[in-house]
Structure 1
Amino acid sequence: MSTAPQGQWLQGHRLQAQRREADRALAARDTRIPGLNWVLDDELLSGLLHERVQITRTRYKPQTSALVAFRRSGSGAGSYGWALTTSPEHAGKLQRRADSSQKRGGGVRLVRPVQLHADVVVAVGPIEEDWPLRPNLRWLRDHGLGRLGALPAAERFLDPPVTVLRYNPERRLVARVPSAALPVVVKTAVQVDEAAAGLRLRQRLVSHDVPVLPELADAECAAHGISASPDWGHGDLSGRDNDPAAYRAGEALAAIHAIDVGTAADPTADVEDLVRQLAATRSMVTRLLPELDDPVTRLTGLLMATVGAAGTNGQQPVLVHGDFSTDQVLVDGPAVRIIDFDRVRISDPARDIGSFAAVEDTADHAGAGPVAGGRKTAHLIDGYCGAGGHVSQARVDTWAAYRLFLDSVDPFRNRASDWPADANWHIRRALELIA
């Protein structure tokens, strides 16, 4: 083994050991969930399932449950699964759901470690048996795919040539499905849109020349949590530098912010939501990493005083994307399309730019400078201002700190190789920008 690969192997082994140590410490603190460590550790879960899996996403409810998505090799739905463990008093519920699945010929089963861990019960199942998602996935299979013109060739409708792009258990599944023309990217969510508000929003965006993808789903699809667009572009803006695309993304953002919101603005509701999110993030971060209590308390107080108590701080509230970042901007050369408007709200216009800057900083810790964002953010702001938008760097930094704080839980959720260090960085960087 040459020196470079050996060094990389040692570094990876060290990070894995650090993550395992942090996971075990968390499991030791939360004795209400005896199976917690079994669904946080790739090797323990692999041993439990008797196959090699990698945990890709975690949803943890302290003292209640832990739900994870895991992946085998492959790209179709069959390569993904979920595992759920709970506090002992809810084990009976897991048993009833597994029994119901078995009666229907489904794939949910209960697994337990050896006798020494009899209190550990883990329910395991495939995507098709994700309990909250299952009704909408069945509707997609039986009715939705035909309405979308998507016709997978496999006997099981989510097997290859269908490709799973993202799977967030009990929340959503995004898959690329072949069709007679271009492939279709289909999102199936637990949350439905019975009023078809998303379709009306898409129409407003198109009427204001915001570059978005065509919506292929109709109102009936929306009522079953289904949205879909043709596959487009060559990746997103999180890839290599693309200055013209970043500039056009800024122009597109200015067009979104210019849409008339009329009397729909409710600053009080926005502030209340901000305060709830800050409190929830503080609670989770200090649960995961108790040693961060002091800096997290300080950061929460500063954010409460700036984005919380002050709300838009005198700025005229506008329609904002709500989750704007490099990976929400699809690119094809200099052309762009903005995607994922699930978190649209009315708020401070600097919120979207700060969010974008925070994600750019997160992608390059070493490149983070005295202000939020880097090269892409600079070109985004140029395009935004060139299209008539106005923003101050101070507000961008404030909202970047807010996004960094909320995202400080993501390294744990996404099973980053060294999630404690990544979470620490998010907190430090947020304090640098707002202190």
Structure 2
Amino acid sequence: MTTPSLRDATAHVAAVAGVDGAEQLLENSALSGLVGHPVSVQHLRLKPGRSVHVAWRTVDDSPARWGWAEVTADPDKADKAVLRAEAAGETVELRRGDGAALLWGGLHGDRGLAKELRGARVVLGEDLPWEVLRYNPGKRVVARLDDGTGPVVLRVSRGTASFLEASRRWAEAGVPTLVPTPVGGRGSAVLTPWWGSSDLHRAPRTAAALEAGRLVGALHHGSRGRVWPGQVRREATPAVTAAGLLEVAPWLRGRVIAIAHQLEARLGELTETEPAWVHGDLSPDQVLHDGRGDIRVIDLDRAGSGPAALDVGSWLAACASMGLPQLSERFLTGYTESTGVDDRSLAISEALAQFRAAVDPFRKLRRDWPQAITRRIELAEQALGRIS
């Protein structure tokens, strides 16, 4: 079955969503008409038969304004969203339809984070401007701001304890990272310094990739066998990943099922190894550099204990999808100075990472998301093909 057009793929997802009004959140033009100004979707979450939830940003403002929109089959959820926003001094637009409610609003009226965002603004200053960098509706906001001492990065979520603990552990283990400072007493916001000139995705540096490999390899070697209490990585099984993929990409059914079966059969080769401290989402855009050789490993939200090969596979998969093979090579060179990893484990872990990330282009509602998902599946197949 060939990869469908964007129009046909979007029509399929709207049908899978199964809630009236979903199509208005799956196309930028329709969403722009809804909120009243040109916007683009930055993050999308689909729960078939229940809801579609998106984060959007304006495309003609500097800095951009951010907000959210949701269509839900749960009227109580819609009512609670309005009440939470009003309690935080924000406004939410609400339209009720046949069996569904459509609602939207600005960032600070987020139904899952309004209280936390309000708390951060009270502590930092109501009039302090935020330049939003990333927004996962109901879960996390990352913004750049100037608190009077210079530029800093603010992270707001429902809880920051695991992020604080991971940052402390990695720093104590000798990995250069940005140790956060709590904001207020709610445990939902932290500040980290604004550091470096770019990350390794936007501005690739082979020397920095080599150093990242050395640091991660040393961490894996030194932490091997040391379980991180309460932070053991638990990922979706290949079967669960396949089910989610096929909801949005049914044209890949045979290939997705075949990959899932191969990964299920081989996953034990990774999970039966001694655990180490792992990043959980390692990629070039998680490594900052200053252009002079120093680096910082960031975004430790998913850090914990797990098979070391998963970090390496995550890096290799990201480099392959970004078209940065030179960063894969240098990272591996640095990594193997401290610890080893066999080619078979590398192939399995890279295929697993490609498979788990295959749905990401849809979640970002890229204009080429059907083709991008297909490409990720091709990369997973290529990785599996290297298993000897």
Same fold (TM over 0.5): yes
Using a 3 Å threshold, how does the CA distance of structure 1 residues 75 and 187 change in structure 2: closer, same or farther? Answer: farther
Shift in alpha-carbon separation, 1:94–1:242, aligned structure 2, 3 A: same
- Is the counterpart of residue 317 in structure 1 residue 285 in structure 2? no
Structure 1, unpaired ranges of 5+: 1-14, 146-150, 365-372
Alignment correspondent of 1:127: 107
Match in the other structure for 1:378 = 329
In structure 2, give the amino acid aligned to 1:310: E
The one-letter code sitting in structure 2 at the alignment partner of 1:205 is W
| Higher helix content, 1 or 2 | 1
Alpha carbons of 1:93 and 1:384: their partners in 2 closer, same or farther (altered >3 Å)?
A: closer
- Determine if contact 1:85/1:122 at 8 Å carries over to the other structure: yes
State the match for 2:345 in structure 1: 395
Match of 2:36 among 36, 50, 59: 50
Give 1:359's aligned residue. Answer: 318
Structure 1: which amino acid aligns with 2:365? R
* Number of aligned residues: 379
Could you say if the C-alpha distance between residues 233 and 28 of structure 1 is closer, same or farther in structure 2, counting changes exceeding 3 Å? same
Residue number among 135, 144, 164 corresponding to 1:199 in the alignment: 164
SS at match of 1:252: helix
> Is the contact between residue 92 and residue 105 of structure 2 (CA under 8 Å) also seen in structure 1?
yes
> What displacement does 1:18 show?
2.9
Alpha-carbon contact 1:350-1:392 (below 8 Å) kept? no
In the alignment, does 2:9 pair up with 1:22? yes
1:263 to partner: Cα distance: 5.3
Q: Work out which of the residue numbers 210, 228, 231 in structure 1 matches 2:175.
A: 210
> After alignment, is 412-421 or 388-397 more displaced?
388-397
Q: Does 1:281 align with 2:244?
A: no
**1:85 paired to 2:71:** yes
Q: Secondary structure of the residue that 1:258 maps to in structure 2?
A: helix
Q: Is the 8 A contact 1:285 1:409 kept in 2?
A: yes
Output the CA distance in 2 between the equivalents of 1:324 and 1:203.
Answer: 18
CA contact (8 A) 1:320 1:346 kept: yes
CA-CA distance at 1:170 after TM superposition: 0.7
Partner Cα separation in structure 1 for residue 138 and residue 83 of structure 2: 19
The correspondence of residues 263-278 of structure 1 with structure 2, limited to 5 A, is: 264=227, 273-274=234-235, 276-278=236-238
Is the strand fraction higher in 1 or 2?
2
Partners of 1:75 and 1:302 in 2: how far apart? 47
Deviation at 1:25, TM superposition (A): 2.1
Q: 2:50 aligns with which of 43, 64, 68?
A: 64
Seen in structure 2, the aligned counterparts of structure 1 residues 382 and 62 have a Cα distance that, compared at 3 Å, is: same
Q: Is the 8 A contact 2:315 2:328 kept in 1?
A: yes
Offset at residue 246 of structure 1 (A)? 0.8
The CA RMSD measured in Å over matched residues stands at 2.5
CA contact (8 A) 1:173 1:189 kept: yes
Aligned match of 2:218 in 248, 255, 258?
255
The structure-2 alpha-carbon separation of the partners of 1:133 and 1:56, relative to structure 1 and needing over 3 Å to count, comes to same
Quote the offset at 1:205 in angstroms. Answer: 2.2
How far did 1:258 drift? 3.1
Q: Residue 142 of structure 2: which of 160, 165, 174 is its match?
A: 174
Q: Which residue identity is paired with 2:364?
A: N
Q: Give me the whole-angstrom Cα distance separating, in 1, the residues matched to 2:289 and 2:187.
A: 29
In 1, Cα distance between equivalents of 2:36 and 2:61: 17
Letter in 2 for 1:51: H
Secondary structure class of the residue paired with 1:227: strand
Say which SS state the counterpart of residue 257 (structure 2) adopts.
helix
State the AA in 1 paired with 2:350: A
Structure 2 CA distance for aligned equivalents of residues 156 and 71 of structure 1: 20
Go from structure 1 to structure 2 and tell me whether the alpha carbon gap of 1:282 and 1:134 turns closer, same or farther (over 3 Å shift): same
The amino acid across from 2:114 in the alignment is: R
Match 1:305 to one of 226, 243, 265: 265
Corresponding position of 2:285: 327
CA contact (8 A) 1:111 1:124 kept: no
Contact 2:168-2:179 within 8 A present in 1 as well: no
CA distance in 1, matches of 2:151, 2:83: 37
Q: Which runs of 5+ in 2 are unaligned?
A: none
Per the alignment, residue 348 of structure 1 pairs with 307
Whether contact under 8 Å (1:354, 1:403) holds in the other structure is yes
Alignment match of 1:110 (pick from 72, 94, 97): 94
Structure number with the bigger relative contact order (C-alpha 8 A, sep ≥ 6) is 2
Matching residue's letter, 2:347:
D
> What is the CA distance between 1:304 and its match in structure 2?
1.0
Q: Give the secondary structure class of the aligned counterpart of 1:250.
A: helix
Structure 1 residue ranges, 4+ long, deviating more than 6 angstroms after superposition: none
